[in-house]
Amino acid sequence: MKHSTDMAVRGRSVARDLFGKRSRADTTPDANTQTLALDLREMSERAFRAGLGRCSSLIEVAALMVELEGSALDQDEFDI
**Which regions in the chain score pLDDT beneath 70?**
1-19, 21-29, 73-80
The 3-class secondary structure across the chain, one letter per residue, is CCCHHHHHHHHCCCCECCCCCECHHHHCCCHHHHHHHHHHHHHHHHHHHCCCHHHHHHHHHHHHHHHHHHHHHHHHHHHC
Q: The whole model's pTM is what?
A: 0.59
Q: Which domain holds residue 20?
A: 4-79
Please state the domain count of the chain.
Answer: 1
pLDDT of 59: 97
